Amino acid sequence: MAQSFAHGNYSHTQKKARGGGGRTGRDQARRTLSQNFVVDPDAVARIVEAVGPHDLVLEPGAGEGVLTRALAETCGQVVGYEVDPLLAGRLAARTRDDARIRVVRGDFLTARAPREPFAVAGNIPYSITSKIVDWCLRAPELTSATLTTQLEYARKRTGDFGRWSMLTVQTWPWYSWELLGHLSREVFRPVPAVDSAILRIERRSQAPDLPGYRAFVDYGFTGLGGSLHATMRLRYPADQVDAAFAAAGVARGAVVAHVHPDLWPLLFDRLHHTG
């Protein structure tokens, strides 16, 4: 969610909190809604550059519209969703004469996905990152999602820790996951406890037909046999598993999370369409 605080000055909120002996109602709302607003112009520019031009962009958590207005400069139509009624009202009033921007007062997660190609972009509430990502992955016409997430989440999903998550592997034949850069916690107000990152999820141009692939990955991540090779030998003939791993170039002792997502479809094809 993006909100403009001149030079990072939000002392009016702090003064109210000190004077009242605690957090203000707005402070509590920001905490409840997981609101940390981008205030650094360079950070906004980096996010917009990562998003790229699109005819239609949906923005979860538009806030007061710093990112919304920046996206409108490069995209045809921006639809900003904001669940906070005060922020939604302010943004709607400020952009009512801008035909490029439409503000929706409501929860992005309840939105119906457009039937035309569209992108999702936003500095999203970190407490519902997984729910927003799941929404994006279910949308048939989504072309890409460029999201500001906690750094740890982005690193986990993109293999930056040297291992791969099950969600990434399950969706890899259809979506690429890329970490496009770090964002210091200092570019947000209030300042969060952790650094952030720009995560890019992009639909691949070719969508393979792999019925049963997701269940195959789910089984592989159970770790029943220790290594992925041993796990697969519990379900498939031993000689077939050996041949599949050799053909895919996967070491027999490889831990499941260390197997690159590119290799999983090869294993799946070998184990399901040979022998």
Known binding residues for S-adenosyl-L-methionine are: 36, 38, 61, 82, 107, 123
Q: Can you tell me whether residue 248 is helix, strand or coil?
A: helix
H or E, element range at 104: strand 101-105
CA distance 200 to 181: 10
Can you say which residues are annotated as belonging to the binding site?
36, 38, 61, 82, 107, 123
Cis peptide before 190, with omega less than 30 degrees from 0?
A: yes
Identify the bridge partners of residue 103 per DSSP, sorted by sequence position. Answer: 80
CA distance 198 to 180: 5
CA distance 156 to 148: 14
Q: Can you tell me whether residue 113 is helix, strand or coil?
A: coil
Contacts of 6 (CB under 8 A, 6+ apart): none
CA distance 122 to 11: 26
Q: How far is CA 53 from the centre of its chain?
A: 18
Provide the token pair at 193.
């406890």
* Cα angle 241, 242, 245; round to 5: 80
Q: Can you tell me whether residue 125 is helix, strand or coil?
A: coil
CA dihedral for 257, 261, 267, 273, sign (positive or negative): positive
